[in-house]
A and B are shown apart, each in its own frame.
Chain A
Amino acid sequence: MAYEDRVTKQVSVFLENKSGRLAEVCQVLGDAGVNMRALCIADTSDFGILRLIVNDPGRATRVLQERGFGVGEADVLALVVPDRPGGLASVLAVMKQRDINVEYMYAFFITVDGDAVVLFRIEEQQIASTIELLEQNDVRILYAEEVYAL
């Protein structure tokens, strides 16, 4: 894929709604020296999906699989969003122009040059066109390497 270097790998973990499972994931990653950069949890009454941005997604996936977790990797975009009222709205407006469908999004703990970083999950077939569109509209997309090193 073109723009491959601007696609960040998110690690997704299937969790049953049972106590202690999230703690176990964090422990496994901690023991493996994997540092978490951003996370979000989506849940239903039966299960949840933990989405993680880490410094080393390959290693995180491997150690979690070894410990029997259901793990997958997904492609996401890390966009730099101006940290001011209407900042996110302006980015979303750009995407709306072309009917780009955001599956989900969540924000980083860390800012870059005073701006917020928000992760966007876009349908796979739209990723390349989204990157093109955003760059034409001067929305900064972080390179995957920058994200892992945040």
Chain B
Amino acid sequence: MIWDPENECMDPEQRRELQLHRLRSTVARLAANVPFYQQRFAEADVSPLDLKSVDDLRYLPFTTKDDLRETYPTGMIAVPLSELVRIHSSSGTTGTPVIAGYTRRDVDIWAETIARTICLGGGTSADILQVAYGYGLFTGGLGLHYGGERVGCTVIPMSAGNTARQVMMMRDLKSTMLACTPSYALTIADEIVDSGMDIEQLHLRNGLFGAEVWSDSSRAAIESTLNIKAHDIYGLTEIIGPGVSAECGCSCGLHICDDHFIPEIIDPETREVLPAGERGELVFTCITKEAFPVIRFRTRDITTLHYEKCECGRTTTRMDRVTGRDDDMLIIRGVNVFPSQIENVLVNIEETLPHYQLVITKEGRLDVLEVQVEVSSEIFADTIRGLEAVEDKIRRELASALSIQCRVKLVEPKSIERSIGKAKRVIDLREE
């Protein structure tokens, strides 16, 4: 089901007109109300009147995560603070948190965009939606909650954690849809397997998973263990939270709510806009938000945009799944390493994704990457030779995939901390 056919299936030319109209009014409001943008627009010598088409977006200045940190906490808010009805914040896993304010209308728009996400993921008003994203400052829990209510789902606000209880409620209340981080979905899947529960006792059909980068191998593991279709959903606190884009049933990328958030792809080095179909850094401009609209926000996510109409009938712009975020990238001895690369190696060795953790230390001037892998029944051996062969195989395959040597350490099952929110896969003990 398409939640908002009028806007999601709109003629692309008509949508561009709508985008331009909304962009001009947003730029005008920011120029009037936010000193940061006043200054940036003046430096770039642009005014809303200069915007003759959506393509003119390229003349506007970028906004970076550092800009948002420097204006912490409310320097970017474009309305009187008394008009805010809600505050959320980024998790701050990568630095100072970003404060996002919402007016009543922003909260309404947000619920609409997440209603689209839920329907993209196969949801309808008949669904029983278990929200296992954290509730609180994090946008995941309340975002999915309001979107679920908007669609008319029966929403179970479990929040994250208490996994045994999650599984019990899932079974007893016959949840049909699960929304959480992919790493928590794997934790729930583990709990189901460990508890010996028959998967037939569950009624799950679809899952909405986002807020962290996950590999195709994680997706396969979630889909097979939970017996569901897993949909990637995408969003950032800086833009609105979840609801920015989501996968439909066609598995051909994530549909962006581009009547609210205009996407661009730029070359991260030259910052030039790249032609359609090229891979580069994703940039968003908010054109309907009142309280916290950002102009050309650099997401640091690398992807490609597609503009053709989708088989599902929607005409909205699609983005490829993000498989690596610049923020997740580790630099080990000068080599860029994404945790997702390591995941792919591990899953190919064991056939299921083991729990793992990356520990980075410095020995003298040299970075040392240690990959800790839990010993599962698949790789257990009763001889030292057998276990050393496993370690050696992982080490060799990682070396060939990453082009750097790393240490591999086998650890006991369940000794790596299980995640309930964003997975903490990386422990970087290097001194800056």
Contact = CB atoms under 8 A, between A and B. Distances in A.
B383 interface: yes
Contact of B383 (A15, A47, A49, A71): A49
Chain A: interface size category: 20 to 34
Nearest to A76: B382
Interface stretch (B31-39, B46-54, B360-368, B407-415): B407-415
Contact of A16 (B376, B377, B388, B411): B411
Interface string B213-243: 0000000000000000000000000000000
Interface string B412-432: 111100000000000000000
Nearest to A10: B382
Given A10-B382, A51-B382, A121-B382, A68 B413 contact: yes
Contacts of A69: 412-413
A74 B382 contact: yes
Interface in B7-55: none
Interface string A37-79: 0000011101101010000000000000000111110100000
Interface string B354-385: 00000000000000000000111100111111
A72 B380 contact: yes
Nearest to B382: A12
B375 A70 contact: yes
Contacts of B377: 70-72
B387 interface: yes
B410 A14 contact: yes
B382 A15 contact: no
Interface in A6-20: 10, 12, 14-16
A99 interface: no
Contacts of B413: 14, 68-70
Contacts of B410: 14, 46-47
A109 interface: no
Contact of B384 (A15, A44, A72): A44
Contacts of B387: 14, 47, 49
Contacts of A31: none
Contacts of B412: 14-16, 21, 68-70
B409 A46 contact: yes
Contacts of A49: 382-384, 387
Secondary structure call for the B interface? loop
A42 B377 CA distance: 19
Nearest to A71: B380
A74 B377 CA distance: 13
Contacts of B383: 42, 49, 103-104, 121
Contact of A14 (B375, B385, B388, B409): B375
Contacts of B374: 70
B384 A12 contact: no
B409 A70 contact: no
A132 B294 CA distance: 78
Contacts of A121: 382-383
A78 to B, nearest CB: 16
Nearest to B388: A44
Contacts of A104: 383
Interface string B385-398: 10110000000000
A84 to B, nearest CB: 30
Nearest to B409: A46
A127 B208 CA distance: 50
Given A51-B382, A104-B383, A68 B414 contact: yes
B285 to A, nearest CB: 49
Contacts of A47: 387, 410
A72 B414 CA distance: 16
Interface string B48-76: 00000000000000000000000000000
A15 B415 CA distance: 11
25 contacts: A12-B380, A14-B380, A14-B410, A14-B412, A14-B413, A15-B412, A16-B412, A42-B383, A44-B388, A46-B409, A47-B387, A47-B410, A49-B383, A51-B382, A68-B413, A70-B376, A70-B380, A70-B413, A72-B380, A72-B382, A74-B382, A103-B383, A103-B385, A104-B383, A121-B382
Interface of B: 374-377, 380-385, 387-388, 409-415
Q: Which 6 A-B pairs have the closest CB atoms?
A: A12-B382, A70-B375, A68-B414, A74-B382, A72-B380, A14-B375
Interface of A: 10, 12, 14-16, 21, 42-44, 46-47, 49, 51, 68-72, 74, 103-104, 121
